[in-house]
Amino acid sequence: HDEYHEHDEL
C-alpha cells in the first residue's frame, strides 16, 4: 500500500 498514506493524522 501507499507508503505514507497511513500518516493522515496530525
Partner 1 sequence: MNIFRLAGDMTHLASVLVLLLKIHTIKSCAGVSLRTQELYAIVFATRYLDIFTSFVSVYNTFMKLVFLGSSFSIVWYMRYHKAVHRTYDREQDTFRHWFLVLPCLVLALLIHEKFTFLEVLWTFSLYLEAVAILPQLVLLQRTRNIDNLTGQYIFLLGGYRGLYILNWIYRYFTEPHFVHWITWIAGLVQTLLYADFFYYYFLRFIGGRGVE
> Which helix H or strand E contains 3, and what residues bound it?
none
Per-residue binder mask for partner 1 (CB under 8 A), 1-10, x = binder: --xxxxxxxx
Cell numbers standing for residue 1: 500500500
- The site for partner 1, by CB under 8 A, has a size of 8
CB of 7 to partner 1, least distance (A): 6
Report, in Å, the least distance between residue 9 CB and partner 1: 7
Question: Residue 3 has which C-alpha cell?
Answer: 507508503
Give the binding site for partner 1 (CB under 8 A).
3-10
